[in-house]
Amino acid sequence: MFPFTNMKKLLIKNITVILFCLVIAPFGSAQQKGKTVISPFAEFQQLDSAEERFNFFFNTTERYTQNSTYDWLDEVNKYLNTATQKQNVNEIVKYELIRSRVYFDLGDYDKALAIAKELYTRVDDFDIYFNSKLLDLMDDNYGKLNMYPEQIEVRKKIHDLGISDNVVFYDIYSNLGLYRTAMGDYIEKVKKNIEENDFYGQAEYYNMLGNFLRLDNSSATALSNYKKAKSFITVLLNDVTRQNEESEKTKAGLLNGVIEGNIGKCYVQLKQYEDAIPYLESAIATIKEFGNGTLTSETTENSLAISECYLHLEDYARATDYLSDDLQTNSTENLLQKNRLLSMYYDKTEDFKNAAFYLRRNLRIRDSIIGNESELRKQQLATVMSEERELSKTMMAKQKLEIEKSRREFDAQERTSKLVLISFFFTLLGFAGLVYAYLKSIKNQRLIAEQKYIIENSLVEKDSLLKEIHHRVKNNLQMVSSLLSLQTKNTRSKAAIEALEEGKSRVKAMALIHQKLYQNEDLSVIEMQGYIESLINSVQSVYRKNGHNIAIEVDTEGVELDIDRAIPFGLILNELVSNSFKYAFPVDDGKGKIHIIIKKSESQEGFFEYSDNGIGLPEDSEDLSKSSMGIRLMNRLANQLQTTLNVDSGVSGVRYWFNFK
């Protein structure tokens, strides 16, 4: 229709693609090298069961951000075929409902509804969660297909199954042209449920009010409501941008685009075309940025509105840009609007033949639908009104029951008040006894306070004794260590010297436990971060003499263990660190690393891991584990912790780990 305009758009599109490939795409791939982002589609594929995929699909709103709707449809069809071959009915119904939703998202409402209606015949066989998703989908389909009586039946079913008690009709009233009635029902049913600090809910609420008023041709009042909605969504966007919440930012950004488009359409109704254009253009750009292909109807309406503005401003070139052949007009209203604007364009450019052609096309469309639509609207209005009367009767019956319940409660309160008067007399009699009891309790409290003072002093004394005991145990262990050192000096056997040094190291590890205990305020536990760092310093002081320079990382922040577990941990770590210094790094290249982790979860389950990047275990490590005293000692210590020591050895070192309670 406009070859020059289409050619210009195609040229711009090609230039954009080239720029993306040259500039943006390399930057994006560089970002991906730093961090791998798993798309919802890939995450869906990695799930193991139909139940997990079903829950993931319906709980993921941003499904089509990286993969198209057709990708999802192809993947779901594969799972459905597999389930059909296995004749697994439970999986079949789940994949069928997912498939129905994908067809709905594609805009194929008839196909989506056909699948959903087939599942609806077995609604009593499904659980409430499955039924909620099924009925919500049917409700959406009936709304898109203007099948309002059926939509009402679905909502009654939602109420009867206990999925929701809040049955609303404002959207149906609006679709039937009863905008004021819709607004009244919306205010009654929705406003009371919106929290004051729910900025998204407030923005959505005022946007809906603006819609009802704009459709009822109350443009000025609608505009004030849209501007309220705009102020709420602006505050929310500032908050989520500062907090870097991407999903909330996308949701809020999309609503912001819808609101801007509605403000622009209001200005068009008020014939303020120059004011309307910036809002409409911003709305189209925002919806494209955050919508991921959704809300095409909003984009179409905004494009038609911009075209109308430019036609009235006699900028015909820009007007035709927004009336191009690729503009999607999925609804009859949009098609009629497009034909009207094309007729207006040709009329202004004095091409009266084409102007008359589009006018006749609109007349044919209107003649074909106006009769059937008028009769259908009457039937639908009658159905909605009858359902409303039925619901009103139900609500009145509930109110009568509540009034009767209140009357019974009042009678019960009156009887209770009489009993209170009678009991008051007896209360006075008992008051004297309470005074006596109170005076006696004061005396008892004094006795308790004195006993508490004695007990606290006793506890302080016991703490001092315990610290003294731990101090003496530490001193005795140091004496044992000194004796072993003397024995080492008087021994010539290299094997004996090594055994004595290992024994001395183990004694030091135990002595360090008792030292930490008497230095702590709390004698029942040991803070492991400080203990392990002290233990490592002790081991390093021995092996640094041989030129070792190894970086050690300790990640046990906040972990505390009692003495029964701390001693086995200390001895295991002593063995592991000593082995790393002795065997893991035969060449001191300054690149040696040791990493120690102890973590505890809220359920008090613990995890221990020790790793180094040395040469790893030798090939005969299994035989060595049977003959090595150190490894046998570590296994026995792990048994004391009621766990098993696990070993992983590879080209990049060795890793020991276990879980403990």
CATH number of the domain enclosing 118: 1.25.40
Confirm whether 267 is domain-assigned.
no
Confirm whether 158 is domain-assigned.
yes
Amino acid 18: pLDDT: 39
Confirm whether 583 is domain-assigned.
yes
The reply to whether 32 and 42 lie within a common domain is: no
Contact at 8 Å (CB) between 580 and 595? no
Contact at 8 Å (CB) between 226 and 204? no
pLDDT digits (tens, 9 = 90+) for 214-260: 999 899 999 999 999 999 999 998 988 888 788 788 889 999 999 99
- For 292-300, what is the mean pLDDT? 76
Most confident of 477-481, 541-545, 551-555, 561-565: 551-555
pLDDT at 89 over 90: yes
pLDDT at 396 over 70: no
pLDDT at 370 over 50: yes
Beta bridge partners of 526: 561
The reply to whether 594 and 495 lie within a common domain is: yes
The reply to whether 25 and 52 lie within a common domain is: no
* Percentage of residues in the chain having pLDDT higher than 70: 83
- Count of alpha carbons within 13 Å of 237, Cβ hemisphere only? 17
Amino acid 82: pLDDT: 94
Measure the CA–CA gap between 466 and 405, rounded to whole angstroms.
67
- The phi-psi region of residue 116 (left if phi > 0; otherwise alpha if psi is between -120 and 50; otherwise beta) is alpha
Range of the domain at 7: 1-37
The reply to whether 30 and 53 lie within a common domain is: no
Could you give the 3-state DSSP secondary structure of residue 606? strand
Provide the 8-state DSSP code for 646.
Answer: E
Could you give the 3-state DSSP secondary structure of residue 577? helix
The reply to whether 15 and 63 lie within a common domain is: no
Contacts of 455 (CB under 8 A, 6+ apart): none
The reply to whether 149 and 13 lie within a common domain is: no
26: confidence class by pLDDT, cuts 50, 70, 90 = very low
pLDDT digits (tens, 9 = 90+) for 454-493: 777 766 666 666 667 667 776 777 788 777 777 788 787 8
Confirm whether 105 is domain-assigned.
yes
290: confidence class by pLDDT, cuts 50, 70, 90 = confident
Contact at 8 Å (CB) between 154 and 139? yes
Confirm whether 379 is domain-assigned.
no
pLDDT digits (tens, 9 = 90+) for 435-448: 888 888 888 888 88
pLDDT at 325 over 70: no
The reply to whether 25 and 56 lie within a common domain is: no
Instruction: Quote the Cα angle for 351-352-354, to 5°.
Output: 75
Confirm whether 308 is domain-assigned.
no
Confirm whether 536 is domain-assigned.
yes
CATH number of the domain enclosing 581: 3.30.565.10
The reply to whether 611 and 500 lie within a common domain is: yes
Q: What is the pTM of this model?
A: 0.48
Provide the 8-state DSSP code for 527.
Answer: E
The tokens for 52 are 């997990």
Output the CA torsion 418→420→421→423 (10° steps).
130
C-alpha distances out from residue 201 to 167, 180, 295, 564, Å: 19, 21, 19, 56
The reply to whether 85 and 31 lie within a common domain is: no
Q: Which of 167, 191, 218 is the last residue of a domain?
A: 167
Which parts of 520-610 fold into alpha helices (H)? 528-543, 563-579
The reply to whether 3 and 75 lie within a common domain is: no
Phi then psi dihedrals of residue 178, to 5 deg: -90, 70
112-121, 469-478, 491-500: least confident range: 469-478
Instruction: Tell me the residue type at 653.
Output: G
Contacts of 126 (CB under 8 A, 6+ apart): 93, 119, 134
Q: Which residue has the higher pLDDT, 117 or 505?
A: 117
The reply to whether 82 and 10 lie within a common domain is: no
Contact at 8 Å (CB) between 213 and 225? yes
Q: What's the per-residue H, E or C state across 465-494?
A: HHHHHHHHHHHHHHHHHHHHHHHHHCCCCH
197-206, 314-323, 432-441: least confident range: 432-441
The domain total for the chain is: 3
Amino acid 4: pLDDT: 34
pLDDT digits (tens, 9 = 90+) for 506-550: 787 777 777 776 676 676 788 888 888 888 888 887 776 655 678
Confirm whether 590 is domain-assigned.
yes
The reply to whether 3 and 139 lie within a common domain is: no
